[in-house]
Amino acid sequence: MRPPGIQYFPNILSSLRLLLALLFPFIDQQLWLWFIIGSGCSDALDGWIARHWQVQSQAGAILDGVADKLFILSALLTVAASGAFALSWLPLLLVRDLLVAVTALYAVMIGDWHSFHRMDVRWAGKLATVGQFLLLMVAVLFPTGLWLVLWPVILISVIAAADYGRLFVQELVKRRTIDN
């Protein structure tokens, strides 16, 4: 038996992450770590609750993904702008996120949202997100050690981008084969 109202809790957590993303550039640097930890915990918790209580929804999955991407983008831009690392590293750190956004836009433009939506969350994508959160925590706590995690996080992001790109192409080919 599900607790009352549990079906709303994952989306509330994702919405909270959106709020954290909007506030992050405006908060004191001393609060950055707490926002990063809060966002990471809400990301893990909303997914667990949705799966455990079987309250997943398409809207919730989209909200979760958008909240994740916006928080990471907001935090990376803010931390980079503070001088922790060069802004020029952002495209490499965000290559997976950029590819997913472009793929979603492409799917909408060609009227094939179904192929994009069918792409399951991948281990490489989860690892890239964890890596981005780890990078942010290291940038805040141990800025001199940032270089130890920067290249591994970039590598994971590139691997995740390649994996999602391959998966989307497979979905498009499968869909076109079915349609013909």
- Looking at the structure, do residues 69 and 91 belong to the same domain, yes or no? no
Domains identified in the chain, total number: 2
Closest by alpha carbon to 43, among 66, 17, 25, 21?
A: 17
How many Cβ atoms sit within 10 Å of the Cβ of residue 135? 26
Residues 57 and 15 placed together within one structural domain of the fold: yes
| DSSP state letters, 39-87 | HHHHHHHHHHHHHHTT---HHHHHHHHHHHHHHHHHHHHHHHHTTSS-G
Based on the fold, state whether residues 97 and 151 are members of the same structural domain. Answer: yes
What are the structure tokens assigned to 146, written together?
Answer: 């940032």
pLDDT the model gives residue 133: 97
Task: Note down the domain range covering 129.
Answer: 85-180
Cα torsion angle, 57, 59, 65, 67, sign: negative
Buried b / exposed e over 113-131, threshold 16 CB at 10 Å, is eebbeebeebebbebbbeb
109 & 73 share domain: no
pLDDT value at residue 1: 80
- Residue 119 CB-half CA count within 13 A: 26
* Residues 106 and 149 reside in one and the same domain: yes
Who contacts 45 (Cβ-Cβ below 8 Å, separation ≥6)? 13
Report how far apart, in Å, the C-alpha atoms of 132 and of each of 90, 112, 153 are. 11, 29, 7
Is residue 46 located within the same domain as residue 126? no
- Domain identity same for 26 and 60: yes
**Last residue of one domain, picked from the residues 82, 115, 144:** 82
Select from 63, 76, 82 the least CA-distant residue to 128: 76
57 and 90, same domain (yes or no): no
Q: What is the pTM of this model?
A: 0.90
105 and 51 both lie in a single domain = no
The pLDDT of residue 180 is 67
Q: Domain end: 82, 104, 128, which one?
A: 82
What's the start-to-end Cα distance of the chain, in Å?
A: 44
* Half-sphere CA count of 147, side-chain side, radius 13 A: 1
Give average pLDDT by consecutive 10-residue segment, the chain, 180 residues: 89 97 98 98 94 90 91 97 93 91 84 72 90 97 93 95 87 76
- Domain end, chosen from 40, 61, 82, is at 82
pLDDT score at 89: 93
Q: Do 75 and 93 fall within a single domain?
A: no
136/116 same-domain check: yes
Shared domain for 97 and 58, answered yes or no, is no
pLDDT for 32? 98
